[in-house]
Amino acid sequence: MIQYTIRRIVLAVPVLLAILIVVFALTRSIPGDPCKSILGEKATVAMCEQFTRDYGLDKPIYTQFGIYMKNLLQGDLGNSIRFGRPVTLIMIERLPLTIELGMSAMIIALLIGIPAGILSAVRRNSAIDVMTMVGANIGVSLPVFFLGLLLVYLFAVLLKDTPLQLPPSGRISAGIIAKPFYEVYEMGIEEGGLKYNFYEFIANHYVFNAIITRDWELLKDVLRHLLLPAVALSTIPLSIIARMTRSSMLEVLGLDYVRTARAKGLTERKVVLKHALRNALLPVVTIAGLQLGGIFSGAVLTETIFGLAGVGLSMFEAITSRDFPIVQGLVIVIAFIYVAFNLLVDLSYAFLDPRIRLD
Amino acid sequence: MAAITEIPSDNIADIGDYKANSLWRLTVRRLFRQRSAIVGMIILAVLIIVAVFAPLIAPYDPTAVLIGVEDVKKREAPCIHLLGCPEDQPQHIMGIDGNVRDVFSRIVYGTRVSLRIGLFTVTIAVTMGTLLGATAGFIGGWLDNLIMRLMDVILAFPFFLLAIAIVFVLGPGLQNAMLAIAIVSMPAYARVVRATVLSVRETDYVEASRALGASNIQILFSRILPNALPPLIVLATLGIATAILDTAALSFLGLGAQPPTPEWGTMLGSERNQIFSAPHLVFIPGFAISITVLAFNLLGDGLRDALDPRLVHAGVKSD
């Protein structure tokens, strides 16, 4: 297993390098003056000369790539044109929300998708099965941005002034303050510096922050705000996971060892949940990992609709204001997270199925 | 001698024809046995009719602004005479949008735009993917490695995110959006074609064609690609659904079709803040996208089940 892990990690390095090369190539293929597109239209001649020197734009392309790589390895993703602040800082502020949103969506997708798939497979051709599969088909066909707006209409307009009303936008209600845990516990973190940034990054996970500071009022408010976007974002992965679980379960239920288990006189419940499910879940793990890319992409649309200031909304704002450094930085960071997650999925797969690591 | 060579070659041709026909006939028969695939085909047929006869169906020009033409207000709710809307009001069965245009006409013309987006995007993706996959599989060696690693890199990015990055660089617009979606969906087709080339390349009938002096190109088109067709058709049908969905999403973000093009994603995007005051401007285009994507998804799933004999044997989807 250790050997397999090391091999997979080593194999991921060229992929990461290739991602950087692709993003670099995309950067350099922007039509027009690179200085103007990166510093903004207001850049003066002097600023542009400085920029050309800094990024070696007057030097050969491989030198430029060297400078680009050096900056990246130092965690420098450039400065946002619009905010005039380092992209890395914007990321520290905004990535936690996207992580929480994505994780909530994934949890909803798994918690509903897997049981629905199992039930569908066990009660094949029953009303439940038909309903689940029709639902799954509709689920993959609904655009996230449309579903999000539908939910807003339902829970913020139609159900207004009922207990079911949910906030249509924002991360927390006005008046509620998310006090970072390092202030609550008086850890004496000074503003600025790497340590502060790290603590800030952790504290910006509001759900997590609320739990460790035991601020249940905040937790309730954050979760209420998170619910609609998470549901909107979870539909497509949920549908795909439900379908995958169903077909994989059906395949496993037809195998000999399941018949043996039944012949032994085990209850149907035990056969399905103990014998069949473990093997049936293997392909589901892979497909769930692949959905992560969809979650990140969907976050751009979901956050835009629900006015959530995560990296997805940053991406949308950066697109509309042509804030190039942010788009570049976000693409790199999200692609890296995606590769890392798929690596984890591969490893867990190998962990679950010994045949893979022995290959 | 002449007679002897003639008879077998005729027979072979017969058998070939018979087989080819029966696969497709069987597929069609299986396809028509699936309720969901039939639903998909019916929706699709309606959409195609709407797209073809758009000028006859739409009462207004989709880009015509009705200020001064009729007594209508911005973002007016649907008015259907049959459902009790006063006769003296002009009938707009899907209402009026923020620029005082007839929504129904825009939706009808939008069908054209969306179907075209789906078909064009997938055609580009399949063509590029097939060429690359066939080259990789046929020539092999370093070229194979180069092409397939390049495809891996595309797959290393989240699909929609890479599309955003590409359009951002190329500049917003429907054409660039379609190109971006085509580029990011290409690897799937390249992989399928390459896998087929590799599995078929060494078979006896390809050897036989080669011995008869067929060129690589001939072998590729008449011997190898037909084998790749079933999975390609399934992928392409589902790919149309994805292409329509993602191009609509790009348009929603302002990266795809630009106003006043009657594109559903653009229509929804430009009126998304009106969800509280004029929800019909969000619901109608959203519903149109969903139903179109659903039709292609249903048809694609049906085709997969119909074309994959493995599923039938495994008893998974035989019913």
d(CA A201, CA A93): 7
Instruction: Label residue B309 by pLDDT band (50, 70, 90).
Output: low
B177 in Cβ contact with B167 (< 8 Å) = yes
d(CA B278, CA B297): 30
Question: Residue B169 and residue A153: Cβ atoms within 8 Å?
Answer: no
**Around Cβ A172, how many Cβ atoms within 10 Å?**
17
What Å distances lie between residue B12 and A257, B108, B216, CA to CA? 45, 49, 22
B154 in Cβ contact with A23 (< 8 Å) = no
In the predicted structure, residue B11 carries a pLDDT above the cut 70:
no
d(CA A55, CA B3): 77
- Which residues 139-178 of B are in CB contact (within 8 Å) with A? 149, 152-153, 156-162, 164-166, 168-169, 171
A174–chain B nearest CA distance, Å: 20
Phi and psi at residue A43, in whole multiples of 5°?
Answer: -60, 135
Question: Residue A296 and residue B169: Cβ atoms within 8 Å?
Answer: no
Instruction: Label residue B140 by pLDDT band (50, 70, 90).
Output: confident
Structure tokens at A165: 């009303």
Helices (H) and strands (E) in chain B, counts: 13, 0
Peptide bond into B260 cis (omega under 30): yes
**Considering only alpha carbons, which residue of chain B is nearest residue A17?**
B153
**Which residues in chain A are closer than 8 Å to B181, comparing Cβ atoms?**
none
Encoded amino acid at B109, one letter: Y
The per-residue pLDDT for range B233-274, each reduced to its tens digit, is 999 999 999 999 999 999 999 999 998 899 999 999 998 888
Coil/strand/helix, residue A253: helix
d(CA B140, CA B138): 6
**Which residues in chain A are closer than 8 Å to B149, comparing Cβ atoms?**
18
Structure tokens at A332: 């790199």
The per-residue pLDDT for range B174-222, each reduced to its tens digit, is 999 999 999 999 999 999 999 999 888 888 998 899 899 888 888 888 8
B107 in Cβ contact with B285 (< 8 Å) = yes
Burial of A162 (0-12, 13-18, 19+ CB in 10 A): exposed
Q: What share of chain A is helix, strand, coil (3-state, %, to 5)?
A: 75, 0, 25
R_g over Cα of chain B: 24
B97 in Cβ contact with B40 (< 8 Å) = no
Which of A125, A251, A327 has its CB closest to that of B168? Answer: A327
d(CA B30, CA B303): 9
Question: Residue A137 and residue B255: Cβ atoms within 8 Å?
Answer: no
B213–chain A nearest CA distance, Å: 40
**Which residues in chain B are closer than 8 Å to A298, comparing Cβ atoms?**
160
d(CA B186, CA A325): 27
If you average pLDDT over each of A174-178, B43-47, B77-81, B222-226, which comes out highest? B43-47
What Å distances lie between residue A115 and A234, A238, A243, A263, A344, CA to CA? 15, 11, 11, 25, 23
The DSSP code for A180 is: -
**Which residues in chain A are closer than 8 Å to B314, comparing Cβ atoms?**
251, 254
The per-residue pLDDT for range B87-139, each reduced to its tens digit, is 888 888 898 888 889 999 999 999 999 999 999 999 999 999 999 999 999 88
**Considering only alpha carbons, which residue of chain B is nearest residue A125?**
B319
Q: pLDDT value at position B1?
A: 44
Q: Residue B212, Cα to own-chain centre: how many angstroms?
A: 38
Q: Facing residues of B67 across strands?
A: B70
Question: Residue A137 and residue B301: Cβ atoms within 8 Å?
Answer: yes
In the predicted structure, residue B9 carries a pLDDT above the cut 80:
no
A202 in Cβ contact with A100 (< 8 Å) = no
Q: Does B276 touch chain A (CB under 8 A)?
A: yes
Q: What stretches of B53-102 show up as alpha helix (H) in DSSP? A: 54-57
In the predicted structure, residue A42 carries a pLDDT above the cut 80:
no
Instruction: Please work out, in degrees rounded to the nearest 5, the angle formed at the alpha carbon of residue B274 by the alpha carbons of B57 and B258.
Output: 60
Phi and psi at residue A75, in whole multiples of 5°?
Answer: 80, 20
Q: Does B298 touch chain A (CB under 8 A)?
A: yes
Q: pLDDT value at position A59?
A: 80
Question: Residue A145 and residue B293: Cβ atoms within 8 Å?
Answer: no
| CA nearest neighbour of A279 among A181, A353, A204 | A353
**Which residues in chain A are closer than 8 Å to B255, comparing Cβ atoms?**
319
| CA nearest neighbour of A334 among A73, A93, A16, A39 | A16
Virtual torsion, Cα B180, B185, B190, B191, nearest 10 deg: 150
**Which residues in chain A are closer than 8 Å to B165, comparing Cβ atoms?**
23, 26, 327, 331
Write b or e for each residue in A75-96: b if 16 or more Cβ atoms lie within 10 A of its Cβ, otherwise e.
eebbbbbbbeebbbebbbbbbb
Q: Which residue has the higher pLDDT, B52 or A183?
A: B52
The CATH architecture assigned to A87-178+215-352 reads Orthogonal Bundle (1.10)
Q: Establish, for the pair of chains A and B, how many residue pairs have beta carbons separated by less than 8 Å.
A: 138
Average pLDDT over residues A227-234: 95
Question: Residue A153 and residue B157: Cβ atoms within 8 Å?
Answer: no
Coil/strand/helix, residue B70: strand
User: What ipTM, to 2 d.p.?
Assistant: 0.87
A25 in Cβ contact with A328 (< 8 Å) = no
Contacts of A80 (CB under 8 A, 6+ apart): A86, A87, A90, A318, A323, A325, A326
R_g over Cα of chain A: 24
| CA nearest neighbour of B44 among B307, B303, B308, B315 | B303
Q: pLDDT value at position A28?
A: 78
**Which residues in chain B are closer than 8 Å to A324, comparing Cβ atoms?**
168
What Å distances lie between residue A56 and A49, A88, B4, B236, CA to CA? 10, 22, 75, 44
Q: Residue A231, Cα to own-chain centre: how many angstroms?
A: 14
Peptide bond into B86 cis (omega under 30): no
d(CA B140, CA B158): 28
In the predicted structure, residue A1 carries a pLDDT above the cut 80:
no
**Which residues in chain A are closer than 8 Å to B305, comparing Cβ atoms?**
none
**Considering only alpha carbons, which residue of chain B is nearest residue A303?**
B253
The DSSP code for B275 is: G
Q: pLDDT value at position B106?
A: 95
Q: pLDDT value at position A358?
A: 61
**Considering only alpha carbons, which residue of chain A is nearest residue B255?**
A319
B88–chain A nearest CA distance, Å: 31
B209 in Cβ contact with B218 (< 8 Å) = yes
A236–chain B nearest CA distance, Å: 12
Q: What share of chain B is helix, strand, coil (3-state, %, to 5)?
A: 75, 0, 25
Q: Residue B20, Cα to own-chain centre: how many angstroms?
A: 25
Query: What is the CATH code for B43-50+111-264+286-318?
Result: 1.10.3720.10
User: What percent of chain A lies above the pLDDT cut of 90?
Assistant: 31
**Around Cβ A282, how many Cβ atoms within 10 Å?**
15
Structure tokens at B312: 């039938």
**Considering only alpha carbons, which residue of chain B is nearest residue A255?**
B314
**Around Cβ A34, how many Cβ atoms within 10 Å?**
18
The per-residue pLDDT for range A233-290, each reduced to its tens digit, is 999 999 999 999 999 999 999 899 999 999 998 888 888 988 898 888 888 888 888 8
